Amino acid sequence: MISGKKTENLKSVTNGETNDRLSETEIAELLENQRRRVILSYLQVCDGPVEIESLIEHLTYQELEECSRDRSTRLFEEISETVWSDHLPLLAEHDVIKYDRESQKLRGWINIGQLTHRLREYDT
């Protein structure tokens, strides 16, 4: 898990020896959560590093369509907490994304392609 340690600079180069394929079990685990699927879809349409706050706003907007308006502030806070504490660390642990807490930006990483082509199999 990455919590508590600073992530590497987003511009760092990947290690040429790192070419691990995700197992089917890992892929299923990473794609089973709708928010993670939305994160991956969001990264597919964005060019370069994205602001994590913009991603959280995007997730909140999508979920607001399904709930009452008076819940928007609580929803944003809930999504922000789960993105930072659960989704980003899990995706980074599997080299799907790389993120930096200091700059609050993220980008797709080594294994993102193994997941993005599978998104069509899920309803996002």
pTM: 0.79
- Give the per-residue pLDDT at 9: 52
In the chain the domains, ranked by start, together with CATH numbers, are 24-121 (1.10.10)
Ranges in the chain, pLDDT < 50 = 1-8, 11-18, 124
Work out whether the CA dihedral 39, 94, 33, 89 comes out positive or negative.
Answer: negative
State whether residue 11 is helix, strand or coil.
coil
- Give the per-residue pLDDT at 11: 43
- Of 80, 83, 79, the residue nearest 91 (C-alpha): 83
Q: What is the largest CA-CA distance in the chain?
A: 50
- On the 0-12 / 13-18 / 19+ scale of CB atoms within 10 A, 122 is middle
